[in-house]
């Protein structure tokens, strides 16, 4: 494992041998092999860089601005150019195109660029106005810390970053 070698630590995923999703805690144990504790922090940062980053968006399949003749070629181009996973699906029950671009935190710039590339191909100059959603998984035990008292912390984050 790259993290193990470069940081000089051992990493254990204690839930990797559990079959039930209910029993899993998603915790990772990082242990130092020496007196230097900087390897622990470096390993934690490397693991966080590998966490999934997923952008999603929806477009009306009947909108006048959609100008793509073959979405398969666009998706192949985006995946090859930006080294991400991309997908476009038409929803079964509504005329909506669901777009997903997946990468990891380390490749956040490529995930953003790939998402913009798809939106620009579909929407041209309307791309900057299209809403994009990003999901981040936060363990239930960390929810109170992230939210803060009366949701103050998350409100400050939303205000500072102009997000909803």
pLDDT for 1 equals 44
Q: Are residues 79 and 140 in the same domain?
A: no
Say how far apart CA 114 and CA 57 lie, in whole Å: 12
Q: Are residues 81 and 32 in the same domain?
A: no
The tokens for 84 are 């991400």
The CATH number linked to 56 is 3.30.1370.10
Domain hosting residue 143, numbered range = 136-164
pLDDT for 138 equals 75
Number of structural domains, the chain? 3
Mean pLDDT of all residues in 109-118: 94
pLDDT band at 82 (very low <50, low <70, confident <90, very high): very high
The tokens for 157 are 């984050």
**Taking Cα atoms as reference points, which of 49, 101, 98, 50 lies closest to residue 79?**
101
Question: For the residues of 24-85, what is the DSSP string, one character each?
Answer: -----EEEESSS-THHHHHHHHHHHHTSEEEEEEEEETT-TT---S-HHHHHHHHHHHH--E
């Amino acid at each position: 494992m790259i993290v193990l070698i470069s940081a000089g630590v051992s990493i254990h995923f204690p839930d990797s041998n559990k079959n039930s999703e209910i029993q899993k805690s998603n915790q990772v144990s990082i242990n130092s092999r020496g007196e230097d504790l900087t390897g622990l922090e470096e390993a934690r940062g490397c693991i966080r860089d590998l966490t999934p980053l997923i952008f999603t968006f929806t477009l009306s399949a009947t909108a006048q601005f959609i100008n793509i003749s073959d979405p398969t070629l666009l998706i192949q181009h985006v995946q090859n150019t930006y080294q991400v996973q991309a997908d476009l699906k038409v929803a079964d029950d509504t005329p909506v195109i669901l777009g997903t671009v997946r990468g990891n935190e380390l490749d956040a710039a490529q995930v953003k660029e790939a998402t913009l590339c798809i939106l620009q191909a579909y929407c041209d100059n309307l791309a900057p106005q299209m809403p994009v959603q990003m999901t981040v998984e936060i363990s239930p035990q960390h929810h109170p810390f992230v939210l803060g008292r009366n949701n103050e912390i998350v409100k400050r984050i939303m205000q500072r970053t102009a997000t909803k």
